[in-house]
Structure 1
Amino acid sequence: MKTLLISLTLLAAAPAQAAAPGPTYGEHGMALFGGKNGLYASHLPMFHAPHDYQVVLQVRLADPALDAAVKKRLDGHTALWTVAPEKFELDRLQPGAPAPLQRFQADLVRGHFEQGGKTEYRSAIVIIDKVWLFRKLSPQVKTSAVARYVQVGNGTRRYLIKEIDSRPDFDHIVSYHAAARASPLPVSIAKNGVSEPDANALAAALHALPSAIRGTVYYYTDDLR
């Protein structure tokens, strides 16, 4: 009986084994953009697991002073910033996920975190306020004649984000100034392979002046071949 009690005590004291990582577990780098009206993070996708999802989030930083500082630095600019987060399961960002991810810790980097960027803020707590886009990518080779862009943001400060629907394809985020009552609906333009679309074509699709296009935040093809 004494031996049994000792065995039970040792079993109770043993640490529980952590669940094995799922198929979307990894370090999911993101492009960071926005300004005083909001911050957004766009996952940098690939056509293989665990990165085969296009995800766009609206976020804020848990530290109010840091949140205000970062928004001020990004506001009105198109220079690339990226997020280098701790590892997590990307599918926890899917709407309706049983254990939705509400926050994560990350370094905030001016430039690309894997291409010589400079870490400006370490171990920031990023809070997820909204999931704007969550799409699983198909690895199949496919060609599309049009590039479809969804609009992210509120008011006049908005961003166009290209839906990745072909292989090969390109990741493209564009800042633009919208008219006060401009439609937030997606827009489409003719596509020329993986070449970066002309700003005038985007403006025409938006029924806006060319000057409404503020510039490209992110354009990349290497990870989507």
Structure 2
Amino acid sequence: MPISLIATEQDHQQDHKQHSYMGSHGMVLFAAGDTVLASHLPLYRAPHDYQLVYQLALPAAEQQAVLALLRDGQQLTLLPQNFDLRLLIEGKTFDIGAAVYQGHFERGGRLWLDNIQLTFARQLYRRPLQQLSVATNARYDVFSVANSHFLLHRIAAAPSFDQILQLPELPATPVTLATTDGAATLQLLKAMGISATQLYLETADLSQ
């Protein structure tokens, strides 16, 4: 299902803050082996109130370039052309043009790859941010892709945080930490004997 709606870079950035299913919905990229993954940047306001993780398929050259920077520890964010977020919520597979930024596209990130064609290939995670309660601890869901293992923080009522952690092995049970501070999680995991790498942490968009 190709998507071919065109917008300028400024339109993309403005649309991300608007409240319409049809718009430009930003994401952060991360890698599972040779697979590129994208996590939707959620907000509490509908329709952006979903945690979503998707497997992407990019052209070979762009895929290798993206993987190289991700393996080097660089943050990359994705800004697709306008599309209906319900396609991701419903787990659809579709093609679309997109831009890749080095850094966060709303916070001084630099446009790196423009108008590349990619496929949202497979939904890996879906969680609505509705009827949330205030957290007294940090709870994580676990998922694995291509022999890579990840913790995704279950965003709670504000203030909360969006966080993706990578683990060398799959934990036996879901992880709960005695903190509501995303910056403290790595040390708490280390104290539990769990070595983790932080791939993404966002607090500002979920502070209120």
Q: TM-score, normalised by structure 1?
A: 0.74
CA deviations on 1:182-225 (whole Å, 9 max, x unpaired) are 34753221223x442331322455x53xxx223x2221112112
2:67 to 71, 84, 89: 71
- SS of the residue corresponding to residue 197 of structure 1 reads helix
Q: Which runs of 5+ in 2 are unaligned?
A: 1-18
- Rounded Cα–Cα distance in structure 1 between residues aligned with 2:105 and 2:113: 12
SS in 1 for 2:45: coil
SS in 1 for 2:155: coil
- 1:67 alignment partner AA: Q
CA positional deviation for 1:50: 2.7
Residue in 2 that maps onto 1:112? 104
Alignment of 1:20-35 (within 5 A): 23-34=20-31
* Aligned position for 1:57: 54
> Are 2:23 and 2:83, in contact at CA under 8 Å, matched by a contact in 1?
yes
TM-score with structure 2 setting the length: 0.79
Partners of 1:41 and 1:90 in 2: CA distance: 14
The answer to whether structure 1 residue 147 and structure 2 residue 142 are counterparts is no
State the partner residue of 1:127.
119
Q: Distance in 1 between matches of 2:87 and 2:140?
A: 24
Secondary structure of residue in 2 paired with 1:103: strand
Instruction: Report the CA distance shift for 1:26/1:40 in structure 2 as closer, same or farther (over 3 A).
Output: same
Give the distance between the partners of 1:26 and 1:78, measured in 2 at CA: 29
Match of 2:189 among 186, 193, 202: 202
Amino acid of the structure 2 residue aligned with 1:217: L
Distance change in 2, residues 1:185/1:24 (3 Å):
farther
Question: Whose radius of gyration is greater, 1 or 2?
Answer: 1
Q: What amino acid is the match of 2:196?
A: I
Q: Distance in 1 between matches of 2:53 and 2:107?
A: 21
Match of 1:189 among 177, 180, 188: 177
Q: In structure 1, what is the equivalent of residue 15 of structure 2?
A: none
Moved runs in structure 1, 4+ residues, more than 6 A? Answer: none
* Residue identity matched to 1:58: Q
* Residues 125-134 or 183-192, more deviating: 183-192
What is the CA RMSD across the aligned residues, in angstroms?
2.4
Give the deviation of 1:139 after TM superposition.
6.6
Change (3 A) 1:37 1:138: same
Cα distance in 1 for partners of 2:43, 2:163 equals 14
